[in-house]
Structure 1
């Protein structure tokens, strides 16, 4: 059992340096990992450098870059000396990055060479120094300007005599460790304030439901600047002696599959979109490619057998040693989860939010219950606010050591998030007799009909997304009517029309007419499967992919007409 003298990130680093001295910690795929001992030396040097730049306890330091070993070491260097890290998503625009730097009052900015060009230094006058993540060294733009193609290099693990004598401040459990700005799905960026105790308590609570040890290898494919990947995919491995491997290119199939074979990860964190795409674009078409296969797939016993065979093949593609495939960030589609469940793939679905550091519910793969998000993790209290006496549904609220202290410089917004000391998640759920939590949808998204019925758009979207011609969808209310936007699977449509002997020319000339027919077919398909009050009135094509948050939730506020 992992334990610390104090619940601080510094204590994680100190314990791991001693317990896992020569074990591999962080690396790019295909490169030599940094050992825990060397990592501790590099982190100490970077902390000393920050100290000489004038950074003290409580000062804010921004961190902008792609996933890399150096990103992780910068994070540890900032937090272990009592400063506050401000991780900024690399997908944000330059204007958004500058706004966050100014709002957080960051004095120093760690930035990758690839992203540095997005910043205009004139717009962030409070910054006293810039440090290049690629080599963890300060730079002066008047002397050198980082180029986007600059490679990464790991600093030498030699104690820097210029910094070794400086006395570094030590963080306390209740000190602020991070301010995390998230665009969320509401369009209003918020700086979530998380203490060392918030983060480390969530590390310990998560380890009580899923073991991680020094023999585990993680392949990181989600942004480290998001709490989901940072806590579960970085801090937990660093606390348990596991190793984490990063990609030096975007996680396309051409990059990801060879990386899986090279690393042979034992654990992997994902968002639903990844496995949904794999199932819908690769697995299901293969299992239903002929009339005989479709007939076999329509029977439950043979479908389960086919799923088992396909899941074994997928497991081998993932390196063959995976024992934990964690899914979070949004709700997984019914069909994709059924495949994983019937295929006995070692998956687990968790639920959480940035404001709770982040995990609230989860389970080990052996304890997964279909269509639930696991059970409440130890060390917190979770319940439903004003549950409906007929359905048992209510808003999920929580209190515990993992709950944020509030939003930075926004006490009014902070106040709206709490009720009698409990954090309001804004998510509607149901808790069964065994404590398993089923997420029904966001309370803000729920549509109340004139007859008093509660409609959850996410549940209708789940039905829409099962259709073979649909990639993703969004359901909302427009002038009292239910409307859906649908992003169509053009590849599947082209194959369908080829089978009907329609020429490509015919499709091009009559694209609008054909698309309307497809949309009408989808609407009829959905309305035959949902309750009367959940039926769609209209369906329109969403020609471009929906704009999404870092955890691949659709930014709904952009599409409400």
Structure 2
């Protein structure tokens, strides 16, 4: 059990950074740490007036915002349990998750609340707007009166004595995070205060932030990754967190990075891969540029210019960009390492809240996602972890206590001696750096028993021109690559849909020459629509196999 407490870290930060800016909505209003503390105090009073007790569930359903963050902190400092719900869950899924979690209160964005039906959420007592904390629905008049009272008080900023809430013990439940909203398949990951504390303490010890540093919150706060590293950790350091709250298109991102100039950046691979493919590779691949790159001193000048442009895109003020959620394409990694761009790749799961491995950019290795964090143990389930791929198993402070109301899934998730099965496959090198090969359930066994990791092939295909996303599946003992093309990119180069099969087949043949024969792709199938995704934005592979 961790000796530190996340709620105590929150309290210390509120007191130490009282007059600093805490939260801002991008192109909107914000709050100081003093105003956040006052809001939390008044929301606690609202919960008491409504009869909410320690351990009761309170759900959040909306895009990233300052009010979302305040609501989250008010719940966990009250000893209630927060239930973050991804904004792309459907109304029926939200109804189910509200009932499954037995949540009494729902904070919701106005637009997301509109299609919901209160009558289909049996435990719901009140729904509160994440726009302005107004009442969207109340089962009883006194609940509506209580939130009106909060809204009358919230503008009154209190002094530091308002931080008088109790610190929950670390074994208490802090959050239930649902990885699926489907009825009958709900997996609500139960994370304790200890799990979140372990993640935040590791981050405080290994990621260098200080009071006043700026953070741009891009990733969904209902995800463990974005919530822990873009919100919960920097809040304890006195940082100023700006919530983007809108779709991160390239134009929006460029403007937001330039405006906020964040000190630490979290990203998914797609953003870096897209920048490399559309803005770097296309320029460096021209015959003229290839000639310049063959001249050593000119090559260095060009690479310095590219590095400068990339740094400027991300605000030119960050110490590190951390990639998570999926593997980063090897070609992109090699190039970024060559120009000394400060990026690293980490690894985690919701079940660990999320951190499992990390190494700073100047230590990490090509294709590795770092070393096991010091609050966990990690091992590979294979006879020779440095040579033979096996399932990644972990145990320690970060690990969940199980899935809410799903004992069967909980038992399946752990070995008999208490190791969490991550479902991911990997190997370790002699220095403890982890290399992920793919998901256990995605593994394809070749005709002669060879292990084929479709993610490795997809990583290559996704870097081809005119490819938006791809999926490698097995059909009749042959590998087939399904491709959803990027027609916007093709149109710019005056490439028609009719030409794409020939172009992709040429790329396929070139790729096959470089891959082992058992990993060769037999044919290409082009899809006219984007692949169907889960709420966590992973492709639903089972629909295409």
Q: TM-score, normalised by structure 1?
A: 0.88
Say whether the 8 Å CA contact 1:329–1:551 is kept in structure 2: no
Matches within 5 A, 1:377-416: 377-388=373-384, 391-416=387-412
1:201 aligns with 2:198: yes
- In structure 2, distance between residues paired with 1:307 and 1:442: 35
For residue 56 of structure 1, the aligned residue among 37, 53, 63 is 53
2:287 is aligned to: 291
Say whether the 8 Å CA contact 2:21–2:212 is kept in structure 1: no
Deviates more, 1:483-492 or 1:213-222: 483-492
- In structure 1, distance between residues paired with 2:96 and 2:334: 43
- In structure 2, distance between residues paired with 1:547 and 1:154: 45
Deviates more, 1:131-140 or 1:479-488: 131-140
CA drift at 1:475: 0.6
CA drift at 1:397: 0.5
Cα offsets for 1:20-53 (capped at 9, x unmatched): 2212211113445422122111111112212211
1:370 aligns with 2:366: yes
How many equivalent pairs are there? 531
Matches within 5 A, 1:403-552: 403-419=399-415, 420-497=417-494, 507=496, 511-512=497-498, 514-549=499-534, 552=537
Say whether the 8 Å CA contact 2:202–2:375 is kept in structure 1: yes
CA drift at 1:155: 8.0
Matches within 5 A, 1:250-261: 250-261=247-258
- In structure 1, distance between residues paired with 2:425 and 2:536: 19
Say whether the 8 Å CA contact 2:89–2:535 is kept in structure 1: no
For residue 325 of structure 1, the aligned residue among 307, 318, 321 is 321
- In structure 2, distance between residues paired with 1:549 and 1:436: 30
2:156 is aligned to: 158
Deviates more, 1:487-496 or 1:346-355: 487-496
CA drift at 1:462: 1.8
* SS in structure 1 at match of 2:127: strand
- In structure 1, distance between residues paired with 2:218 and 2:330: 23
CA drift at 1:464: 1.7
CA drift at 1:525: 2.2
Label 1:130 to 1:32 Cα distance change in 2 as closer, same or farther (>3 A).
Answer: closer
- In structure 1, distance between residues paired with 2:421 and 2:163: 43
- Gap runs ≥5 in structure 1: 144-152, 499-506
Say whether the 8 Å CA contact 2:38–2:162 is kept in structure 1: no
CA drift at 1:299: 8.8
Say whether the 8 Å CA contact 1:519–1:541 is kept in structure 2: no
- In structure 1, distance between residues paired with 2:181 and 2:511: 28
Say whether the 8 Å CA contact 2:26–2:242 is kept in structure 1: yes
For residue 174 of structure 1, the aligned residue among 171, 176, 189 is 171
Label 1:546 to 1:303 Cα distance change in 2 as closer, same or farther (>3 A).
Answer: farther
For residue 355 of structure 1, the aligned residue among 351, 354, 357 is 351
- In structure 1, distance between residues paired with 2:152 and 2:281: 43
2:116 is aligned to: 119
- In structure 2, distance between residues paired with 1:11 and 1:431: 36
Cα offsets for 1:313-371 (capped at 9, x unmatched): 12112221111211100111112222322221111111000000101011222222221
* SS in structure 2 at match of 1:424: strand
1:104 aligns with 2:89: no
Cα offsets for 1:62-106 (capped at 9, x unmatched): 100111111000000011111100000001111111111111111
- Gap runs ≥5 in structure 2: 142-150
Q: TM-score, normalised by structure 2?
A: 0.91
CA drift at 1:460: 1.1
- In structure 2, distance between residues paired with 1:99 and 1:36: 35
Label 1:232 to 1:219 Cα distance change in 2 as closer, same or farther (>3 A).
Answer: same
RMSD: 2.8
- In structure 2, distance between residues paired with 1:550 and 1:300: 47
- In structure 2, distance between residues paired with 1:405 and 1:303: 53
Label 1:391 to 1:77 Cα distance change in 2 as closer, same or farther (>3 A).
Answer: same
1:229 aligns with 2:214: no
1:47 is aligned to: 44
CA drift at 1:432: 0.8
- In structure 2, distance between residues paired with 1:360 and 1:351: 6
Label 1:447 to 1:135 Cα distance change in 2 as closer, same or farther (>3 A).
Answer: same
- In structure 2, distance between residues paired with 1:45 and 1:99: 30
